[in-house]
Structure 1
């Protein structure tokens, strides 16, 4: 876990950028052991070595920090996907690679699952707009990385594909993280174990099904 940092007040743009980077890195470190839903601004501020009010000098809310981190983690996933897809031009191996590179990034998955219902709240219009612009850039890149390999060039198909990927990642992650009680129920009741969601398998099968649909059908635009 990141150690508290002795801060002096940032007085230049470079210093403010450095403080923001430290806050983001500390958040990333904390999320290796804490779920997004459980991470508090107080815990983050204490770990960084700042009063909560001082953290808010650099980010307007906990959600603003996590949205920026989500954008970073999304871009990092796309970097890995770009490399892993080299030479691959058919549905099944593309789905395999997507599922593998996603499964390797639990923090990305947790942020994706939390984005629409939690992280997009408690932010200003300015922060929301900046996040959405970054999200559009990530969406365009994801579509460009995958769809041309399958001969798909429809804009509407790209929208459906990217939206589907985000819903699959967030939904599968949320359902693959049972509570302590639910995990115990699966363990104690063999007839229920088949209902426990396996992250890698579910991602692969749902992504492959999405890709089959995108190739077979061009979505209606209205």
Structure 2
């Protein structure tokens, strides 16, 4: 049935209850993203997944984009926790660290999808307060990422390491959609003459990271 409310999702009164409800909504969004692109998931669809009304969801998130911004933060934090183990132990070759970074991200498709939608979808239809909270958490996460990279590449300055994370996000936003072609694009680029039009995300992203890192090291 559409928009059915159930006792299990009663309105939260205490802060810990509100946080539990928010996490349940994020869990539902994550499950839906396994089968649907973010653009096709509405607050109503999230409500259906939880057997509650759209109104219930709005009590905890102002918009669909607000849900996905917070899910992006949660996914990125989980990735950083894993990345500290997935990067090669220092000292290591800079190219090894960049390849590991690219491969680790490529294995997390929901994170890549959400991150790639950041400027054109997720940062629209949200309040300035929501964007501010997201941006501050993003900066905290990228600072942590920069520290992980500097541990592997000590020649990189603190400022350049943070710059590398900025370029890395912009590159992901541009590259990820090309690595997820529609059936028609995949069929067309199967033509041998268009071999270079086919995008292998971990390979190309790794090359972008390596080239950017080399440029930053050379400049410093």
* TM-score of the alignment, normalized to the shorter chain, above 0.5: yes
Structure 1 residues 216, 148: closer, same or farther in 2, change over 3 A? farther
SS in 1 for 2:161: helix
Q: Give the corresponding residue for 1:154.
A: 157
Match for residue 85 of structure 2 among 79, 83, 86:
83
Distance in structure 2 (CA, Å) of the matches to 1:75 and 1:49: 28
Match for residue 182 of structure 2 among 179, 183, 187:
179
Residue 125 (1) aligns with residue 128 (2): yes
**Contact 1:150 1:215 (C-alpha < 8 Å) held by counterparts:** no
**Per-residue deviation at 1:154?**
3.1
**Contact 1:100 1:200 (C-alpha < 8 Å) held by counterparts:** yes
Q: Give the corresponding residue for 2:198.
A: 196
Q: Give the corresponding residue for 1:107.
A: 110
Q: Give the corresponding residue for 1:40.
A: 42
Q: Which runs of 5+ in 2 are unaligned?
A: none
Q: Give the corresponding residue for 2:139.
A: 136
Residue 209 (1) aligns with residue 181 (2): no
Q: Give the corresponding residue for 2:69.
A: 67
Distance in structure 2 (CA, Å) of the matches to 1:87 and 1:181: 42
Q: For this pair of structures, how many residues does the alignment match?
A: 214
Superimposed CA distance per residue, residues 43-67 of structure 1 (whole angstroms, 9 cap, x where no aligned partner):
1111111111210001011011100
Q: Give the corresponding residue for 1:27.
A: 29
**Per-residue deviation at 1:190?**
2.2
Q: Which runs of 5+ in 1 are unaligned?
A: none
Distance in structure 1 (CA, Å) of the matches to 2:61 and 2:117: 18
**Per-residue deviation at 1:93?**
0.7
Query: What's the TM-score, normalizing by structure 2?
Result: 0.91
RMSD between aligned alpha carbons?
1.7
Superimposed CA distance per residue, residues 176-196 of structure 1 (whole angstroms, 9 cap, x where no aligned partner):
111222112123x22123311
**Contact 2:172 2:205 (C-alpha < 8 Å) held by counterparts:** yes
Distance in structure 2 (CA, Å) of the matches to 1:147 and 1:209: 16
